[in-house]
Amino acid sequence: MTQSNPLRAGLRLARTPAPCTLIIFGATGDLTARKLLPALYNLAREGLLPNGFSLVGFGRRPWSDDDFRAIMRQSAEEHSRNKPLNEEVWRNFAEGIFFVGGEFGDDSAFQKLAERLASIDAERGTDGNRLYYLATPPSSFDDIIGQLRHVGLNRSGANPAYPSGWTRIIIEKPFGHDLESALDLNQRVGRAFDEDQVYRIDHYLGKETVQNLLVTRFANTIFEPIWNRRYVDHVQITVAENLGIGSRAGFYEEAGALRDMVTNHMMQLLTLTAMEPPVRFDSESVRNEKVKVLHAIKPLQAAAVDRYTVRAQYGAGSVNGEDVPGYRQEKGVAPDSRTPTYVALKLEIESWRWAGVPFYLRTGKRLAKRVTEIAIEFKRPPLLLFPEIRDDIQPNVLALRIQPNEGITLKFGAKQPGQRMAIQAVNMDFRYGTSFGVAAPEAYERLLLDAMLGDATLFTRRDEVEAQWSIMTPILDRWKEQNGTPLAEYEAGTWGPDDADKFMQQDEGRTWRTL
């Protein structure tokens, strides 16, 4: 008989939350089907959900509990990383799935929800613990939050029978569309929920490699001593997508690349790369250090926006051998649209650690491949020993690949075999799949579990959101002033516009990494 590892068992038990009910508003949508339900099923399969865990879907469809269970089963079968479906796990999991139909502004529907939650507390032993998930467009936030407050479901201990029960709310991005709207939304949320109840989710923070960035820096003595301006030449953060906008034209026309990717995902990657070591690994300490980075970023005034940002739109081209239309030819896009699908920018962090080290960010649709990466490029050595091959020596680079093929690569110089002195760049690679032999959990698995546990480390705090928008809003304002200026275009399937290459070369001849 194989004996269990008591340490491993203890760690597993420590990560099992208290019994609770998760209520998903917008449960009939794509996010629930593709991400949330599969993540919950995978947590159940791994024994990480508490006994009595219950899921309540809230949406406009006239579904019964059985209808919702059948649709959720199909979602698990199609989108779970664990296939095939484990029938025993699903049977136990499905017993706790329910559905409440109604409009987000309907008083009676929320009263019905309150009654159903009280019933679940009594029947399934969920102790009055509730976690709300707003998987809806931001236009519905007001109605939902207002109704929760109206029927008294916003308070911890909302069920009088369980005065110690907790209540939390997860809010999906986009969290505002500029600084003013973010401040307004924070105030409206704050009227119904305390800040420690609010979990603003950015799924990038749930990715294993993003979390591993902290371990790479702070659990290894070889990296942190050189993670500063004395040794680092610059940092490049790339979030590239080879897909177009698909059916999201309505959203993307309003958002564009800066709002869609830079303000949230990429700023999170930047803060984790640049932050100081926290005094301890808890939610407040980690988020305090991230906010300090945002406050240290040098604001871009109008002239700096012109010099340190590039925006462009994809034209027709070929991706993976398939001809694709330009952005303005996509369904639902205005023929004269000026929405940028590509953004590159340079940011400077005015801190003791990073003064003088530029951070370059680039993101775009319909680029050559799908890849997300953080690359730390180190300064070149003096090279006094090798003057005759000075130009052949490439800088050292530590690259953290977020997706796909998650892992870390260290590039350094090595002598080529032979009688003459020749140096060639070689890579030392770590890959999650080959090193651990298991698939990494999906980001939503980690984030949903953390929210149930009350661990907000990987969620965005109110002041963090506002600091992000305070950096990005001046850029958006300047671009708005330049509405008459022609927007650069790049061919689909390339790495972006020529202006982005010139933008890098003007900075001491630097170049974007070839990925």
pLDDT score, position 462: 96
The Cα 97–Cα 185 span in angstroms is 31
Q: Give the closest residue to 41 by CA, choosing from 31, 53, 30, 29.
A: 53
Q: How far apart are the C-alpha atoms of 380 and 117, rounded to whole Å?
A: 62
pLDDT confidence band for 64 (50 / 70 / 90): very high
Question: What pLDDT does 59 receive?
Answer: 94
- What pLDDT score does 508 carry? 85
Please confirm whether the linkage preceding 417 is cis (ω < 30° from 0).
no
Q: What percent of the chain lies above the pLDDT cut of 70?
A: 95
Query: What pTM does this model have?
Result: 0.91
* Res 105: pLDDT: 92
Sign of CA dihedral 468, 471, 476, 479: negative
> How many C-beta neighbours within 10 Å does residue 143 have?
16
pLDDT of residue 387: 62
Residue 314 in this model has a pLDDT that exceeds 80: yes
What's the confidence (pLDDT) of residue 74? 96
Q: How many CA atoms lie within 13 A of 239 on its CB side?
A: 20
Residue 236 has pLDDT above 60, yes or no: yes
Q: What is the pLDDT of residue 420?
A: 74
Distances (CA, A) of 320 to 242, 284, 494, 504: 9, 44, 11, 27
Cβ proximity of 262 and 345 under 8 Å: yes
Which of residues 209 and 482 earns the better pLDDT score?
482
- Helix 267-274 to helix 208-218 angle (10° resolution) is 20
pLDDT surpassing 50 at residue 398: yes
**Four-residue CA torsion sign, 288, 290, 296, 302:** negative
Active site (annotated) includes residue 265: yes
User: How much is the average pLDDT of 34-47?
Assistant: 96
Averaged pLDDT of the chain: 91
Residue 41 CA to residue 151 CA, distance in Å, equals 30
Q: What is the CATH number of domain 205-380+461-505?
A: 3.30.360.10
Q: Which is catalytic among the residues 177, 234, 265, 295?
A: 265
- Phi (first) and psi of residue 421, to 5 degrees: -85, 110
In 46-158, alpha helices (H): 65-79, 87-94, 107-124, 141-150
At 383, the pLDDT band (50, 70, 90 cuts) reads: low
pLDDT in tens, 425-451: 778 888 877 777 777 788 999 999 999
Q: Of 488 and 433, which is predicted with more confidence?
A: 488
Distance CA 113, CA 131 (A): 13
* Dihedral over alpha carbons 93, 211, 470, 172 (to 10 degrees): -10
Q: How confident is the model at residue 390 (pLDDT cuts 50, 70, 90)?
A: low
- Omega before residue 404 within 30° of 0, cis: yes
The structure tokens listed for 465 are 């959101």
433 backbone φψ class: left, alpha, beta (φ>0; ψ -120 to 50)? alpha
**Residue 277 pLDDT greater than 90, yes or no:** yes
Question: Where in the chain are the domains?
Answer: 6-172, 205-380+461-505
Report the C-alpha gap between 178 and 188 in whole angstroms. Answer: 15
pLDDT-based confidence at residue 386 (cuts at 50, 70, 90): low
Residue 391 pLDDT: 60
Q: What is the pLDDT of residue 10?
A: 38
Alpha helices in 363-431 (DSSP H): none
Question: What is the identity of the amino acid at 512?
Answer: W
Band of pLDDT at residue 8, cut at 50, 70 and 90: very low
Peptide bond before 325: cis, by omega within 30 degrees of 0?
Answer: no
Phi, psi of 322, rounded to the nearest 5 degrees: -110, 130
Q: Which homologous superfamily does the CATH classification assign to the domain defined by 6-172?
A: NAD(P)-binding Rossmann-like Domain (3.40.50.720)
Instruction: Give 4's pLDDT tier (boundaries 50, 70, 90).
Output: very low
The whole-number average pLDDT for the span 202-222 is 88
Selected residue with higher pLDDT from 137 and 64: 64
pLDDT tens digits for range 320-337: 889 999 999 999 999 999
Closest CA relative to residue 300, chosen from 507, 508, 472: 472
pLDDT tens string 154-165 = 999 877 889 999
How far apart (Å, rounded) are the C-alpha atoms in residues 405 and 68?
34
The number of beta carbons lying within 10 Å of the beta carbon of residue 433 is 12
- Supply the pLDDT for residue 330: 93
Sheet of strand 407-415: strand arrangement = 423-431, 407-415, 397-403, 371-378, 232-240, 358-364, 342-348, 309-315, 488-491
pLDDT above 90 covers a percentage of the chain that reads 73
What is the band of 140 on the pLDDT scale with cuts at 50, 70, 90? very high
User: What is the torsion angle, in degrees rounded to the nearest 10, for the CA atoms of residue 154, residue 157, residue 159 and residue 161?
Assistant: -170
Q: What is the pLDDT of residue 385?
A: 66
pLDDT at 249: 87
- pLDDT tens for each residue of 338-350: 999 999 999 999 9
Task: Give 11 or 358, the one with higher predicted confidence.
Answer: 358
pLDDT band of residue 83 (cuts 50, 70, 90) is: confident
- Separation of alpha carbons 214 and 216, rounded Å: 5
> What are the tens digits of pLDDT across the range 91-131?
999 999 999 999 999 999 999 999 999 999 999 999 999 99
* Strand partners for 427: 411
Q: Write the CA distances from 131 to 54, 57, 205, 449, integer angstroms.
A: 10, 12, 19, 11
HSE toward the beta carbon, residue 251, CA cutoff 13 A: 16
Distance CA(286)–CA(57), nearest Å, equals: 33
Q: Taking residues 282-287, what's their average pLDDT?
A: 93
